[in-house]
């Protein structure tokens, strides 16, 4: 009998090979090299009895498109494998993934702990959304474990954080926080959007669930919105059956699932290039007289560089910095660049720059931003895949504009 595609060795396949091939055999689909996009909302039952068996879970197969589709399923198998989890789930957006997780795993009376630096709308979901439904939310700085110990109680169901965190790239020790959460009977949930499994695999460090905005590096081309979850079968199944099926209905379209898979095929290569360019830009910024400080996880002067190097293989594609002259200088920089595009989001082939205080983190109050390490002058750069020399030239133009604006103000 002919060997099935990808069979033939007991050695586990590498990351890029799984990102390209896992869960799909062209011979099952008329030899089509890439997985078909199953554009269907519902599925025919072989017989009236078979329909009932599917609903009762006595027969395997597809029922309806809101929670399962064959194109989506290949993507789900791939993210599970790349993150090292038993199961995966794909949803319509990162926010869809986070909210489906919360609605599935929490109930009134529960408490949760979140790190105090999160993507603005995640922070809003926790502090303005969940709190309306009887859930107590403690927002603390998880880089200091004493803060976690102060708020963990018997009612704590989960500890949630991003590392590196959006927008200032603070790094949280996944192993240590997960261990503390487990000791209190809580789950550790990590938003791994900024690293992707190519650079960091939180489940290997003890986290229980990993979430993604696949809109960013996983999709990789700024042309879609999607969310992903990976972790143990029991938790992921609950999020599919409750959070996706009837609590949010945040279904990924089959076309988008296909595009995310296309992005993931080149993920490892892209993350390497994003990281190398971002590290070079962080070095350039750190040495520049217009710059007050730079945050980059692998930069030697970075506060949590040791933790970053323990759990990440490269520094990632984001660089955050504050210019001398604060807010006004930041605005002048953003208006002074030409190649770099002024836009929110991140992880695209294009280099993007944005101002968290007025854009992605406008959901925080000014007081919250001040106490949560999001300064008013902070500029966030998502380094793309353009030629580094062109990016450095454009960054110099932005820095010149920042210095000119500061000189004019004095
Ligand atoms: C942004 N971030 O520019 P979607 N988790 C993290 C994120 O950064 C994001 C999400 C979840 C940005 C989006 S802001 C108007 C644009 C760490 C999104 C949410 O629902 O797929 O956008 O993911 O920082």
Q: What is the pLDDT of residues 376-396, one digit of tens each?
A: 889 999 999 999 999 999 999
pLDDT at residue 1 greater than cutoff 50: no
Rounded distance, CA 403 to CA 104, Å?
50
The pTM is what?
0.97
The preferred substitution site among 93, 94, 124, 227 for testing ligand 1, maximizing ligand atoms within 8 Å of CB, is 94
What token pair was written down for 172? 């949280």
CB–CB of 37/261 below 8 Å? no
pLDDT on residue 2: 42
Spans of all domains in the chain: 35-265, 267-409
Where does residue 344 rank: exposed (0-12), middle (13-18), buried (19+ CB within 10 A)? middle
> In the structure, what pLDDT confidence band is assigned to residue 6 with cuts at 50, 70 and 90?
low
pLDDT band at 5 (very low <50, low <70, confident <90, very high): low
For residue 227, give the ligand 1 atom closest to its CA: 21
d(CA 201, CA 79): 11
Which of 130-139, 189-198, 283-292, 370-379 shows the lowest mean pLDDT across its residues? 370-379
Report residue 10: phi and psi, to 5°: -90, -10
The predicted model gives 267-290 an average pLDDT of 98
Mutational pocket test of ligand 1: of 213, 256, 384, the residue with most ligand atoms within 8 Å of the beta carbon? 213
Residue 410's pLDDT is what? 85
Atom 7, ligand 1: residue with shortest CA distance: 119
Classify domain 35-265 at the CATH topology level.
3.40.640
User: What residues contact residue 79 under an 8 Å CB cut-off, 6+ apart?
Assistant: 85, 88, 90, 197, 212, 218, 228, 229, 230, 264
Burial of 314 (0-12, 13-18, 19+ CB in 10 A): buried
Pick the range with the lowest mean pLDDT from 58-67, 292-301, 369-378.
369-378
Q: How confident is the model at residue 3 (pLDDT cuts 50, 70, 90)?
A: very low
Cα distance between residue 194 and residue 165, in whole Å: 8
What CATH number does the domain located at 267-409 have? 3.90.1150.10
Phi, psi of 160 (to 5 degrees): -120, 135
Distance CA 47, CA 333 (A): 65
């Amino acid at each position: 009998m002919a060997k099935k595609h990808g069979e033939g060795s007991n050695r586990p396949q590498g990351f890029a090979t799984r990102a390209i091939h896992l869960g799909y055999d062209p011979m099952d689909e008329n030899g089509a090299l890439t997985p078909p996009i199953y554009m269907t909302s519902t599925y025919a039952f072989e017989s009236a009895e078979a329909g009932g068996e599917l609903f009762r879970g006595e027969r395997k197969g597809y029922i309806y498109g809101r929670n399962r589709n064959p194109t989506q399923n290949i993507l789900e198998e791939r993210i599970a494998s790349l993150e090292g989890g038993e199961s995966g789930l794909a949803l319509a957006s990162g926010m869809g993934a986070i909210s489906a997780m919360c609605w599935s795993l929490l109930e009134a009376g529960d408490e949760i702990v979140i790190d105090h630096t999160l993507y603005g709308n995640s922070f809003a979901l926790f502090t303005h959304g969940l709190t309306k439904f009887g859930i107590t939310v403690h927002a603390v700085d998880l880089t200091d474990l004493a803060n976690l110990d102060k708020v963990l109680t018997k009612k704590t169901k989960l500890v949630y954080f991003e590392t590196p965190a959006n927008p200032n790239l603070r790094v949280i020790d996944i192993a240590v926080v997960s261990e503390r959460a487990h000791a209190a009977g809580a789950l550790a949930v990590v938003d791994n959007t900024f690293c992707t499994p190519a650079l960091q695999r939180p489940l290997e460090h003890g986290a229980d669930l990993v979430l993604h905005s696949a809109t960013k590096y996983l999709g990789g081309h700024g042309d879609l919105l999607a969310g992903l979850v990976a972790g143990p079968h029991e938790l992921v199944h609950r999020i599919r059956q409750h959070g996706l099926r009837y609590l949010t209905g945040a279904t990924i379209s089959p076309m988008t699932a296909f595009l995310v898979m296309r992005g993931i095929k080149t993920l490892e290569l892209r993350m390497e290039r994003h990281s190398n360019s971002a590290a070079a830009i962080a070095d350039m910024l750190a040495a520049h007289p217009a710059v007050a400080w730079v945050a980059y996880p692998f930069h030697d002067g970075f506060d949590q560089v040791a933790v970053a190097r323990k759990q990440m293989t490269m520094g990632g594609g984001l660089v955050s910095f504050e210019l001398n002259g604060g807010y006004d200088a930041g605005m002048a920089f953003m208006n002074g660049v030409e190649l770099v595009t002024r836009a929110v989001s991140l992880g695209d082939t294009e280099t993007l720059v944005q101002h968290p205080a007025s854009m992605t983190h406008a959901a925080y109050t000014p007081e919250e931003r001040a106490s949560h390490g999001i300064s008013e002058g902070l500029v966030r750069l998502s380094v793309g895949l353009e030629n580094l020399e062109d990016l450095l030239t454009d960054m110099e133009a932005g820095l010149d504009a920042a210095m000119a604006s500061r000189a004019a103000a004095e």
